[in-house]
């Protein structure tokens, strides 16, 4: 855990131009309407801190995966408009993140002013720093201080997260959002209020094996749902029908179960399932107990499993949840995820939700404000729990 990182709070920002990496990778529809501005709102404390203390802010972000090519549908211009509404002050916009326009606006930026640069990933060097080290230098010339407040991309060794802060020796700080994430995912989970329960879902076990092993060093119980549960079932010799499972990872699943058994940590897997015989037209949907019959897909946890999970959640002192319990994007198969979200929200436990669909479920159920901490990083949250640090945090100045 890295809490020895220089914080924005200790960065002298008056009359400085602060180059800040934010995460404005928000969902935008074809009419350029932002469907969820959560990530933009999450950046406001750091931005307003700088502005209130007489600094100016130059914001950098990516949006989507343009893969080094300019794509107008992935422009950050709508984010500039939304940020302007939220701040109640003008937000300038540069049509490129480097080049004459960005340089001119940044040079003439006055204290209290905000500039948002165009999508970093319109340049291939953002994701592949090695192909053009000059990209980082061009960005660095725009500001006098550096702040990273984009936890959701801190696990990526990209130009804006790793190469750029190194060009600001002694002046590269963590924003308030990153500090908050480090405290909750680090301090809170390192010394949790007991019992400590972790609920892990999602489709694949492959991306979460390391996290599961790391959690077994901390938790008092582990609940597993979602598509990854079928790999565990398959490993135990149970039929999963046509359900998603990762072939070749049965040994890893058994290793997790063995480690849990050795450490006397109970692992709860689904005991019943919502199944369908077709993922295309859902001709038949039913609930089965135990194994999943041939010809059927498991698509959600069943009501008995929901009740078992609720019982464990009610007893917990700390809860960490990442990943849906079923095919959450289809409303017919989202009940398990919704029920879990409501149970966590009504719990008296310290509750942390680790990004992605889990956070979406909390918002959809209207319980987001009843959860202790909603992490802004899905993959970053999981990697931080597994490794205790991230490349984008390591690149910052030590306090």
Q: Tell me if 96 is assigned to a ligand binding site.
A: no
β-sheet with 272-276: strand ranges across: 285-289, 272-276, 297-301
For residues 197-213, average pLDDT = 90
For residues 301-311, average pLDDT = 97
Q: Do 8-177 and 184-384 agree at the fold level?
A: yes
- Residue 356 annotated in active site: yes
Rounded Cα gap, residues 374 and 381, in angstroms: 10
Return the sign of the alpha-carbon dihedral for residues 25, 334, 320, 225.
negative
CB atoms < 10 A from the CB of 52, how many? 10
305 contacts 225 by C-beta, under 8 angstroms: yes
pLDDT at residue 388 in the model: 85
CATH topology of domain 8-177: Rossmann fold (3.40.50)
Q: Tell me if 355 is assigned to a ligand binding site.
A: yes
Whether residue 303 has pLDDT greater than 90: yes
For residues 137-156, average pLDDT = 96
Q: Tell me if 25 is assigned to a ligand binding site.
A: yes
Whether residue 1 has pLDDT greater than 50: no
Q: Tell me if 339 is assigned to a ligand binding site.
A: no
Q: Tell me if 329 is assigned to a ligand binding site.
A: yes
Rounded Cα gap, residues 7 and 12, in angstroms: 11
Please, which residues bridge with residue 18 across strands? Answer: 57, 145
For residues 225-249, average pLDDT = 92
Helix, strand counts (H, E) of the chain? 15, 15
Cis amide linkage into residue 217, ω under 30° from 0 = no
Q: Give the three-class secondary structure for 327.
A: coil
Q: Tell me if 95 is assigned to a ligand binding site.
A: no
Residue extents of the structural domains in the chain? 8-177, 184-384
Q: Tell me if 62 is assigned to a ligand binding site.
A: yes
Which one of 17, 39, 82, 338 is the catalytic residue? 39
Which one of 354, 356, 377, 378 is the catalytic residue? 356
148-202 pLDDT per residue, tens = 999 999 999 999 999 999 999 999 999 999 999 998 988 888 889 999 999 999 8
Contacts of residue 68, defined as CB under 8 A and 6 or more positions apart, other chains included, come to: 121, 122, 123, 124, 125, 126, 127
SS3 string of 266-330? CEECCCEEEEECCCCCCCCEEEEECCECCCCEEEEECHHHHHHHHHHHHHCCEEEEECCCCCCCC
- Residue 213 annotated in active site: no
332-359 pLDDT per residue, tens = 899 999 999 999 999 999 999 987 778 8
Whether residue 378 has pLDDT greater than 80: no
Q: Give the three-class secondary structure for 202.
A: coil
pLDDT at residue 119 in the model: 98
In CATH terms, 184-384 corresponds, of 3.90.1570.10, 3.40.50.2300, 3.40.640.10, 3.40.50.1260, to 3.40.50.1260
For residues 115-124, average pLDDT = 98
Q: Tell me if 63 is assigned to a ligand binding site.
A: yes
Q: What is the residue-wise DSSP string for 19-39?
A: EEE------B-TTS-BS--HH
What are the two backbone dihedrals, phi and then psi, of residue 376, each rounded to the nearest 5 degrees? Answer: -85, -5
C-alpha distances in angstroms, 34 versus 28, 168, 363? 4, 33, 16
- Residue 204 annotated in active site: yes
Which one of 204, 213, 218, 310 is the catalytic residue? 204
Q: Tell me if 236 is assigned to a ligand binding site.
A: no
What proportion of the chain, given as a percentage, has pLDDT over 70?
Answer: 99
Nearest to 21 by CA among 61, 78, 79, 77: 61
Q: Give the three-class secondary structure for 356.
A: helix
Rounded Cα gap, residues 336 and 340, in angstroms: 6
Which one of 225, 323, 354, 379 is the catalytic residue? 379
Return the sign of the alpha-carbon dihedral for residues 229, 231, 237, 243.
positive
60-88 pLDDT per residue, tens = 999 999 999 999 999 999 999 999 999 99
Whether residue 284 has pLDDT greater than 70: yes
Radius of gyration of the chain (CA): 22
pLDDT at residue 188 in the model: 86
């Amino acid at each position: 855990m890295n809490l020895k990182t220089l914080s924005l709070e200790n960065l002298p920002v008056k009359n400085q131009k602060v180059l800040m990496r934010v995460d404005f990778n928000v969902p935008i529809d074809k009419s350029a309407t932002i469907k969820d501005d959560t990530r933009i709102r999450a950046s406001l404390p750091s931005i307003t801190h700088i502005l209130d203390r007489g600094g100016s802010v130059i914001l950098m972000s990516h949006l989507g995966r343009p893969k080094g090519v300019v794509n107008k549908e992935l422009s950050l211009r709508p984010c500039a408009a939304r940020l302007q509404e939220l701040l109640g002050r003008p937000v300038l916009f540069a049509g490129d993140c480097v080049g004459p326009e960005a340089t001119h606006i940044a040079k003439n930026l006055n204290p209290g002013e905000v500039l948002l640069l165009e999508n970093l990933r319109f340049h291939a060097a953002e994701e592949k720093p090695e192909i053009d080290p000059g990209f980082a230098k061009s960005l660095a010339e725009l500001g006098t201080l550096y702040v990273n407040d984009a936890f959701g991309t801190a696990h990526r060794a990209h130009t804006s997260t790793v190469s750029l802060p190194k060009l600001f020796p002694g002046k590269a700080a963590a924003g308030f959002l990153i500090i908050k994430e480090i405290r909750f995912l680090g301090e809170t989970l390192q010394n949790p209020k007991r019992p400590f329960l972790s609920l892990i879902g999602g489709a694949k076990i492959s991306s979460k094996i390391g996290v599961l092993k790391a959690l077994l060093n901390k938790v008092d119980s582990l609940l597993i749902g979602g598509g990854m549960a079928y790999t565990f079932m398959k490993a135990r010799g149970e039929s999963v029908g046509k359900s998603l499972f990762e072939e070749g990872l049965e040994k890893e699943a058994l290793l997790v179960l063995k480690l849990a058994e050795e450490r006397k940590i109970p692992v709860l897997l689904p005991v019943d399932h919502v199944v369908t015989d077709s993922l295309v037209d859902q001709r038949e949907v039913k609930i089965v107990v135990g194994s999943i019959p041939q010809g059927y897909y498991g698509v959600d946890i069943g009501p008995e499993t929901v009740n078992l999970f609720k019982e464990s959640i009610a007893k917990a002192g700390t809860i960490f949840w990442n990943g849906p319990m079923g095919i959450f994007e289809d409303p017919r198969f989202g009940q398990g995820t919704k029920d879990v979200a409501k149970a966590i929200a009504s719990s008296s436990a310290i509750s942390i939700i680790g990004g992605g669909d889990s956070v979406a479920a909390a918002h959809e159920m209207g319980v987001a404000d009843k959860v202790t901490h909603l992490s802004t990083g899905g993959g970053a949250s999981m990697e931080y729990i597994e490794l205790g640090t991230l490349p984008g945090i390591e690149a910052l100045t030590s306090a």
